[in-house]
Amino acid sequence: MRKTTFRIIILLSFTIVILQSCYPGEELTYSDTDIVATFYNKDVNFATKQTFAVPDSIIRIDENGNPVSDPGPFDQQILNKIKSELLALGFAEAAAPANADVLVIAAVTTSTWASGGCYYSWWYPGWYPPYPGWCYPVYYTYKTGSILIAMLNANANEAESGLWIAGINGLLGDSNTSTSSRINRDIEQAFNQSPYLGDGK
């Protein structure tokens, strides 16, 4: 009897270990889903790029890929943040776009995604006897927002037009205040992880 009890205790201990999730990740907040990716043209000497121009508006694209004329609530904030980051790197704002070494443009798009998965249950609802391991499907939708920032060569005579691009992506659905701070943080991150932009300045 003593041995059986002992074995039960051991079995329960190991069962607790086994029943832990396969994927022990923590819960994510909206801002946790933000990613910032940057790419650059390795053949470009950024020390030769000293002045920039930023258009007054942002390119907005709807979910079908069509341009949207209405401005968004964060457009001006995005433009201001891009300018301040360029200035912080040592760029100077050109008096006119024609005088700039680089043009920096921004585009914003949102997408609604539908997804699904398998929810495992002790038994499949409505079935008897229980069928362990069965799952029933779950469907959900989520909305993502993306900001693209592209630095283009303003001198059309040079072969390389695309110099640098940043892509920012994350889940939407938070409050406007949170979205605003996420935009600032992520644009700042895009420039921080691209220190070569400040070469020679």
**Interface contacts to another protein, rule CB under 8 A:** 3-4, 7, 10-11, 14-26, 28, 32-42, 120-122, 132-133, 142, 144, 169-171, 189, 193-194
Based on CB atoms, which residue is closest to another protein, 77 or 121? 121
**In the complex, least distance from residue 27 CB atom to another protein, rounded to whole angstroms:** 11
Residues 6+ apart with CB under 8 A from 143: 110, 111, 112, 113, 171, 172, 173
Take residue 13 and report the two structure tokens written for it: 């201990």
Based on CB atoms, which residue is closest to another protein, 107 or 172? 172
Kindly list the distances between the CA atom of residue 44 and the CA atoms of 4, 60, 86, 95, 120, in Å, as whole numbers in the listed order.
74, 28, 17, 24, 52
Take residue 179 and report the two structure tokens written for it: 């979205």
**In the complex, least distance from residue 112 CB atom to another protein, rounded to whole angstroms:** 13
Based on CB atoms, which residue is closest to another protein, 19 or 159? 19
**In the complex, least distance from residue 93 CB atom to another protein, rounded to whole angstroms:** 26
Q: Report which DSSP code applies to 71.
A: P
Residue type, 40: Y
Based on CB atoms, which residue is closest to another protein, 40 or 51? 40
**In the complex, least distance from residue 69 CB atom to another protein, rounded to whole angstroms:** 28
**In the complex, least distance from residue 128 CB atom to another protein, rounded to whole angstroms:** 17
Take residue 59 and report the two structure tokens written for it: 């390119």
The closest alpha carbon to 170, from 161, 159, 178, belongs to: 178
Based on CB atoms, which residue is closest to another protein, 94 or 147? 147
